Amino acid sequence: MTVITARSGDERRGMTANAFVSVSLTPPLILVSVDHRAHMLSLLSDDAVTHFGVNILGANQRHLSTHFAGKPGPEEQVPWFEHEGLPLIGGTVAQLVCRKERLIGAGDHTLVLGHVEYSRYTDDDPLLYFRGQYHELG
């Protein structure tokens, strides 16, 4: 599972996204699909928002997946930190900082193409979601 993060003024926003894919290695491009009903789409559509984060959750971060999917919990449970002004989530398997390249309309979703400018990863197990349930590798 991934959580897309961005900033609007002083407000940090996040959204659970299960449609995330690598598009190209050279240049490093990724794609995330955002439902037209998602609040994150209005933020990512703003020309002033030039970057967004991609946080790949670890196996022990199910609570963050549900929190950013719209089931709010206490804000202090989100281990926020910033990388050059962009909000990211601590303790994740991987974090990407992406420059917003293009938004592409696709049915009831918008595809957000991002150019990866920074990445960090660990060898921890990712949080997997398949057929409506969370799973572990192995």
Domain ranges of the chain: 2-135
Cis bond leading into 27, ω under 30°?
Answer: yes
Give the pLDDT confidence score for residue 138 in this predicted structure: 64
Give the pLDDT confidence score for residue 136 in this predicted structure: 78
* Position 23, amino acid: V
Give the pLDDT confidence score for residue 9 in this predicted structure: 86
Give the pLDDT confidence score for residue 77 in this predicted structure: 82
Give the pLDDT confidence score for residue 81 in this predicted structure: 94
Give the pLDDT confidence score for residue 135 in this predicted structure: 87
Report the C-alpha gap between 129 and 68 in whole angstroms.
14
What is the topology classification, in CATH, of domain 2-135?
Answer: Pnp Oxidase; Chain A (2.30.110)
Decide: 94 and 119 in contact? Cβ < 8 Å. yes
Q: From first to last of its 138 residues, what are the pLDDT tens digits of the chain? A: 999 999 988 889 999 998 999 999 999 999 999 999 999 999 999 999 999 999 999 999 999 999 999 876 666 689 999 999 999 999 999 999 999 999 999 999 999 999 999 999 999 999 998 888 888 776
Run of H or E including 128: strand 128-130
Give the pLDDT confidence score for residue 134 in this predicted structure: 87
